Amino acid sequence: GTLTLSNQATNSQLLQYMPPLGATCTVVESTPLPPTPAYHEWTGAPSYSLDGGTPTAQLNNLLIDNTGHSVMVTNNLLRQTSTLNVTKLITPSEVAAVGDFGFTVSCQTPAGSYAGTVAVTAGNTGTTSISVPAGSTNCQVNETSRATPPQGYQWTDAVYQQPSADPLQAGATVNASITNTPRAANVALN
């Protein structure tokens, strides 16, 4: 038999087949599987379960008795990912600054928010990578926390270089950056 899946949330369909009593059956899924939705891939072999029992790798020698049986075949889809490199820059380099800077990446299609931290060490720069679902669009990086500024300084507003608003391609690496500038703190004069 053939099952045709639509875009239903459950992504399942019932196919009824009535073998004669006493028949011995083997359930095997045909290959190749149909094309996957955009930015997805099939992962692993299918699993089979009998009458809601524990999934198995195969289903052989199923004896049909007068109670009947139900067999479920499960395939898993994996969402492909893209890599987003986020670089933190502290300028000017003459003012040494180190520490952890938190950020989030908010994307549309699919909507999601992904958190990360960049550790800035010697050289006033640091880079970290996070995985973002492939196909995500309009991703925006926003700083969420800052390391303590160097003594006598305070942070100015961050300046961002955002990734392209286009869909992130599977397996691709894209870049974004956050630049912070420390400025001398105001000192009250008496």
Reported as a single tens digit per residue, the pLDDT across 93-102 is 888 889 999 9
Q: Which tokens in the block code for residue 27?
A: 């359930």
d(CA 142, CA 180): 12
How far is residue 4's CA from residue 86's CA, in Å, rounded to a whole number? 42
Report pLDDT digits (tens) over 24-69. Answer: 989 898 888 888 888 999 999 999 999 889 999 999 988 888 887 8
Reading phi first (left if > 0) and then psi (alpha if -120 to 50, else beta), residue 9 is in alpha
Q: What pLDDT is stored for residue 189 in this prediction? A: 52
The pTM of the full predicted model, rounded to 2 decimals, is: 0.77
- Who's near 157: CB < 8 A, 6+ residues apart? none
Region of poorest pLDDT, from 3-12, 15-24, 103-112:
3-12
